[in-house]
Amino acid sequence: MFSIALVGHVDHGKSTLIGRLLYDTNSLPEGKIDEIKKTCEALGKNFEFAYVVDALEEERKNQMTIETSQTFFKTQKREYALIDAPGHKEFIKNMVTGASQADASILIVDVKEGVKEQTRRHAYLLKFLDALPVIVCINKMDLVNYSEKEYLKAKKEIEDYLKLIGIKPIAIIPISAYAGDNVVKKSKNMPWYDGLTLTEVLDSLDIKSKREETLFFVQEKYKDIYLGNLLSGSIKRHQKLFVLPENKEVEVGRIVYGENEVEEVKAPKAIGITCNKELRRGNLLVKDPNQFHISRKINAVVFVLSDKIKKNESYTLRLLTQETIFRVRKIREKIDIDTLERKEAKELKELDAGIIEIETEKPLAFTKSVKEVSRFVILKKGKILAGGKII
């Protein structure tokens, strides 16, 4: 499964694009379109693809199972999960706290409106979260008579902004989500565009080679078994591993997966293990400890979701299951998302991004080369205030 974050300014066409993708790839449940067409008629409204997405969303809400909004579609090549922005804040929260992990992103820009505030914020987040590569869709081309000139104007504007953040999009596609141009099918309305359609670009992406290194983190102890998550690699019975941040060698005993004891398991899985030494919540078990840092002094980029992060204040940091109190030693800079200017600051407010230097009470084990082990959340009284990434 390939996960894609879909971002862009309000009304630039995210929901419509999802509806169009589902429709043109035949990924919609049978009868769904007819059902919605009928509802639209009864209400005297024109049919909108966005309603399809809203209807699916509603169904999911009623089932009360999913907290992030995901929609699935498949091409001939593979299956995709689209992570949509149900609301701006929820989306940012899900992305920043790691509830959603994207392998790539689609940034949608209305050709007439160009780059807007939320376009900039989302683009910045994509970089912050390594949700790369980025595919840009210049949408609503039907509203400008499929004009190449209008496309080039919007293209330049978004390219210039992305360049400032250090993102080079792998494609900038002129589309009409509403009319279906260049989404799945090549458009006859834009003969001047000789690039790929959106699904062709998606299908051309390489699935990143998954990490092979063993990485298991401990969640809790149940009787003599340590329950946790195997994030990558595999674990064998009687394998020797290193436990971090203590950095000592241990030997795995039995492995439990589901109801069974097994000889070996491969990631990603929730499993239980026994061990010849005492472990605790937060411990990481790895093959090669040299690939990890163990430190109490950390520099990080943070994105504030609510309240404030202030210099000299103490907060709680959670990275996987590692948890520690820390103090903000310095706010090195605040990043203005609109201009990307960096300024000095004493505090970071809601939706601010900045770079901070912190000192933790307990040593933390992390590695910058693995997303899951470099990203953390900041809490105060159990509430998430910010998301961060160790730099």
Query: Which listed residue (2, 5, 7, 15) binds ligand GTP by CB under 6 A?
Result: 15
Q: Which is nearer to Mg ion, 15 or 367 (CB)?
A: 15
Distance CA 231, CA 277 (A): 21
Q: Shortest gap between Cβ of 176 and ligand GTP (angstroms)?
A: 4
Query: Which listed residue (3, 11, 170, 372) binds ligand GTP by CB under 6 A?
Result: 11
Q: Shortest gap between Cβ of 205 and ligand GTP (angstroms)?
A: 23
Among 15-23, 128-136, 280-288, 318-326, which window interacts with Mg ion (CB under 5 A)? 15-23
- The site for Mg ion, by CB under 5 A, has a size of 2
Q: Shortest gap between Cβ of 219 and ligand GTP (angstroms)?
A: 35
Residue 189 burial (10 A CB sphere; 0-12, 13-18, 19+):
middle
Q: Shortest gap between Cβ of 189 and ligand GTP (angstroms)?
A: 12
Q: Which of residues 127-146 bind ligand GTP (CB under 6 A)?
A: 139-140, 142-143
Distance CA 237, CA 74 (A): 38
Q: Which is nearer to Mg ion, 15 or 100 (CB)?
A: 15
Q: Which is nearer to Mg ion, 14 or 140 (CB)?
A: 14
Q: What is the per-residue DSSP string for 51-64? A: HHHHHHHHHHHHHT
Contact between 16 and Mg ion by CB under 5 A: the answer reads: no
Contact between 119 and ligand GTP by CB under 6 A: the answer reads: no
What is the number of other CB atoms lying within 10 angstroms of the CB of residue 167? 21
Q: Which is nearer to Mg ion, 9 or 375 (CB)?
A: 9
Q: Shortest gap between Cβ of 40 and ligand GTP (angstroms)?
A: 12
Q: Which of 245, 255, 291, 259 is nearest to 275 (CA)?
A: 255
176 secondary structure, DSSP code: B
Rounded to 10 degrees, what is the CA torsion of 154, 160, 162, 165? -160
Among 12-20, 21-29, 227-235, 268-276, which window interacts with ligand GTP (CB under 6 A)? 12-20
Q: Shortest gap between Cβ of 111 and ligand GTP (angstroms)?
A: 9
Tell me the three state secondary structure of residue 221: strand
Query: Which listed residue (4, 12, 15, 69) binds Mg ion by CB under 5 A?
Result: 15
Contact between 374 and Mg ion by CB under 5 A: the answer reads: no
Residue 191 burial (10 A CB sphere; 0-12, 13-18, 19+):
exposed
- The site for ligand GTP, by CB under 6 A, has a size of 17
- Strand 383-390 and strand 293-304: the pairing is antiparallel
Q: Shortest gap between Cβ of 142 and ligand GTP (angstroms)?
A: 5
Q: Which is nearer to ligand GTP, 139 or 360 (CB)?
A: 139
CA dihedral for 361, 367, 373, 374, sign (positive or negative):
positive
Asked if residue 390 lies in contact with residue 366, where contact means CB atoms within 8 angstroms, the answer is yes
Q: Which is nearer to Mg ion, 13 or 233 (CB)?
A: 13
Q: Which of residues 161-220 bind ligand GTP (CB under 6 A)?
A: 176-178
Distance CA 238, CA 355 (A): 42
Q: Which of residues 22-81 bind ligand GTP (CB under 6 A)?
A: 48, 50
Rounded to 10 degrees, what is the CA torsion of 159, 162, 164, 168? -90
Rounded to 10 degrees, what is the CA torsion of 182, 186, 188, 191? 80
Distance CA 267, CA 317 (A): 26
Asked if residue 22 lies in contact with residue 11, where contact means CB atoms within 8 angstroms, the answer is no
Q: Which is nearer to Mg ion, 18 or 390 (CB)?
A: 18
16 binds, options ligand GTP, Mg ion, none, Cβ within 5 to 8 A by partner type:
ligand GTP
| Residues near Mg ion (CB under 5 A) | 14-15
* Contact footprint for ligand GTP (CB under 6 A): 8, 10-16, 48, 50, 139-140, 142-143, 176-178
